[in-house]
Amino acid sequence: MARAGRKTRAVTILDIAKSAGVSKSTVSLVLKRSPLVREETRQRVAGAMDALGYVYNRGAASLRRARADIVGMVINDLSNPFFAELAIGIERALQNSGFVPFIANTAESVVRQAEVVRSMREHGAAGLILSPALDTDVAEISRLEARLPIVLAIRRIIGARASLVVSDNLAGATRATEHLIELGHRDIAFVGGVGRMVVFQDRVAGFTGAMEKARLAVEPARIIESMPTKDGGFDAMKRLLSSEGRPTAVVCFNDVVAIGAMLAIARHGLTVGRDVAVVGFDDTAEARHVSPALTTVSVDAGSLGERAAQMLLRQINEGERRLENYVGEARLVVRESCGATFKRRIAS
């Protein structure tokens, strides 16, 4: 029961060749399904292969070919369901491409990010999908971009020349804010996210834009930053509520922040949707399952991931550089947390 093939030299193309009575070159041709080899020999070789339990050695192959069939996916926070869905989308799109995804979770650490990117390069990754960690340096990206195909996902980095897959943050935040205004809210805050993130800037711009269009003032104190996590949202909301004159509605940076904020609101003895309207951003599965169900901006992480993967594959296959951008639609999904249904219920 000791490990079999541990000491035994691995079965190689040469063993197959010998056993099938052909040359290694022929075996290689069979491997790549070349139409050059006669059907009969093909079968003989194939037979030898599974008789000997042959396992193709991709490492050796890509050594010769100078490029591996690996792509890296670098995710800044895999514990956020949004990014998990993104990862699944990428993985799904890669499925029949002949490429295999490496995954790494940087947990927002640029140091860790540099490590994993390096590791992926060392493994000969043909390309990278990168959802950059907070404070990622533009120079870092440019340096990378010069060396291998890379698509930036979700988080734009200003000044970076690289393909990009993001959602329409401006439009999404605008729509969410407008919705709250239509519901009659006048004092609205923006909660969560950190100022140096472009995503934050875009969403805040959407928020302020909509406010200004409705001739509503936005005090600086109505924009509260926090880490884009549940705890961050909780803390930010708590701060907001303990200051005097609380807003009647909040637009949250994303769903996890929103869920944290809802918790803080409840903890404060208030009711989400009645006392304070809440809207999120992302539409993760969780948004549907919290109570009250979260009104949020849907961006479909899964298909964003697929897009990113397809874009990367295109870039790998075409060989030369062509930057692409894809901005995914952001659709408002009205549920309960904004108070819309609540209002309706009262009206009837």
Contacts with its own copies, residue ranges (CB under 8 A): 1-6, 10, 55-60, 62-63, 66, 68, 70, 78-79, 81, 84-85, 87-88, 91-92, 95, 100-105, 112, 116, 119-124, 146-149, 161, 230, 259, 263, 285-286, 289-291, 319-321
The least CB distance from residue 61 to DNA, in Å, is 4
DSSP conformational letter for 159? T
In the chain, which ranges are continuous DSSP H helix? 13-20, 24-31, 39-52, 58-65, 81-94, 110-122, 138-145, 169-182, 198-213, 230-242, 255-267, 285-289, 301-318, 340-347
Q: Looking at the DSSP assignment, which residues form a beta bridge with residue 191?
A: 224, 252
Q: Which of the listed partners (DNA, its own copies, none) does 29 bind, with a CB threshold of 5 to 8 Å by partner kind?
A: DNA
CB burial of 110-129 (b: ≥16 within 10 Å; e: otherwise) equals: bebbeebbeebeeebbbbbb
The least CB distance from residue 181 to its own copies, in Å, is 27
Query: Which amino acid is present at 46?
Result: A
The DSSP result for 19-64, as a single string, is: HHTS-HHHHHHHHTT-TTS-HHHHHHHHHHHHHHT----HHHHHHH
Task: For strands 188-191 and 249-252, give the pairing.
Answer: parallel
Considering beta carbons, is residue 49 or 104 the nearer one to DNA?
49
Backbone angles phi, psi at 210, to 5 degrees: -65, -40
The least CB distance from residue 204 to its own copies, in Å, is 25
Considering beta carbons, is residue 53 or 184 the nearer one to DNA?
53
Q: Which of the listed partners (its own copies, DNA, none) does 263 bind, with a CB threshold of 5 to 8 Å by partner kind?
A: its own copies
Considering beta carbons, is residue 60 or 221 the nearer one to its own copies?
60
Q: Which of the listed partners (its own copies, DNA, none) does 43 bind, with a CB threshold of 5 to 8 Å by partner kind?
A: none
The number of CA neighbours under 13 Å toward the Cβ of 239 is 16
The least CB distance from residue 125 to its own copies, in Å, is 10
The least CB distance from residue 8 to DNA, in Å, is 10
Considering beta carbons, is residue 92 or 268 the nearer one to its own copies?
92
Q: Which residues of the shown chain bind DNA in the complex (CB under 7 A)? A: 9-10, 12-14, 21-26, 28-29, 31-32, 36-38, 41, 54-57, 60-61, 63-66
Largest alpha-carbon pair distance within the chain?
Answer: 86
Q: Which of the listed partners (its own copies, DNA, none) does 37 bind, with a CB threshold of 5 to 8 Å by partner kind?
A: DNA
The least CB distance from residue 63 to DNA, in Å, is 4
Q: Which of the listed partners (its own copies, DNA, none) does 32 bind, with a CB threshold of 5 to 8 Å by partner kind?
A: DNA
Q: Which of the listed partners (its own copies, DNA, none) does 23 bind, with a CB threshold of 5 to 8 Å by partner kind?
A: DNA
Closest CA to 222 of 253, 254, 246, 193: 246
Q: Which of the listed partners (its own copies, DNA, none) does 221 bind, with a CB threshold of 5 to 8 Å by partner kind?
A: none
Considering beta carbons, is residue 75 or 189 the nearer one to its own copies?
75
CA dist 74 to 150, 235, 257, 283, Å?
11, 28, 22, 22
Q: What H or E segment, with its residue span, contains residue 73?
A: strand 70-75
Considering beta carbons, is residue 168 or 286 the nearer one to its own copies?
286
